[in-house]
Amino acid sequence: MDGLTGKVAMVTGGATGIGAACVRRLAAEGARVACCYNKSAAGAEALTEELTGKGQDVFAVRIDVTDSTQIKQGIATITEHFGQPIGILINNAGDIIKNVPADEMDEELWNLVIAINLTGTFLCSKYVIPGMKQLGEGRIINMGSISARTGGGVGAAHYAASKGGVEALTRALAGELGEYNITVNTVAPGVIYTPIHERHNTPESLERLRQQIPLKRIGDPPEVASVVAFLASDEGKYITGDNIAVNGGKRFD
């Protein structure tokens, strides 16, 4: 895709699932990619070793997106390593932690999911924006979820609320940053084979979900990464403030 070669991309939650697929796709398109991780050091190191072995420019860096100090330090490290500001930010880090009915959910769990999924997205965006303004352009792509529209099912109020907030944040930032040639969009996956779905579903529940999808199959991370790469490229430069669903046609109601 046009416009990705030589650009510096930062992918949070880049060690596994959709994040790893985004790292692979952006690197294959010629971007210089920071694979950011928190707990998945082994996955990040293995992915980085694999892709650098192919001659692609990938660098692993640990960032806890709930810690603003780590975010600022990580962005400084990435900028120094590649010798230029970050031009593409993929806010992919996120978690459900566990499903708990609302009347049984403690504030600690609620606050942690909001901190990872929503506040982390805001903080990473906040601290890359100055570099994008310096570049005169930028792409911020936030990972949403179909749960923002469906509610996510029993026990997922924290996750659904956080992803609804991500959609609203996307629209707010798109309005603020358009004059600086910085686009901001959300990609909202449906049911995708990722570690989160493996943890929170059984084969039987995944089969029930599959039957609800018009395409009658569960998606794969590279199918989400292809949309991310499009939005990050020059081909997607006139799209901003939007929510792109990647869900096999599953309705929001």
Instruction: Provide the pLDDT for residue 205.
Output: 80
**CB-count exposure of residue 239 (10 Å: 0-12, 13-18, 19+):** middle
218-237 pLDDT tens trace: 999 999 999 999 999 999 99
Nearest to 58 by CA among 17, 92, 16, 25: 25
166-179 pLDDT tens trace: 999 999 999 999 99
242 pLDDT above the threshold of 80: yes
**Starting at the edge strand that comes first in sequence, how are the strands of the sheet with 243-246 ordered?**
58-62, 32-37, 8-11, 88-91, 138-143, 182-189, 243-246
Nearest to 232 by CA among 224, 75, 20: 224
253 pLDDT above the threshold of 60: no
Task: List the Cα angle 52/196/161 in 5-degree steps.
Answer: 115
**CB-count exposure of residue 214 (10 Å: 0-12, 13-18, 19+):** exposed
Tokens coding 9: 């991309």
159 is catalytic: yes
121-164 pLDDT tens trace: 999 999 999 999 999 999 999 999 999 999 988 999 999 999 99
176-215 pLDDT tens trace: 999 999 999 999 999 898 877 667 677 888 888 888 899 9
Instruction: Provide the pLDDT for residue 153.
Output: 87
Higher pLDDT among residues 211 and 253, named by residue: 211
Query: If you average pLDDT over every residue of the chain, what do you get?
Result: 95
Catalytic-role residue among 159, 180, 193, 238: 159
**CB-count exposure of residue 207 (10 Å: 0-12, 13-18, 19+):** exposed
Confidence bin at 239 (pLDDT 50/70/90): very high
Architecture of the 8-246 domain = 3-Layer(aba) Sandwich (3.40)
Instruction: Enter the pTM of the model.
Output: 0.95
Q: What is the mean pLDDT of residues 41-51?
A: 97
Higher pLDDT among residues 211 and 119, named by residue: 119
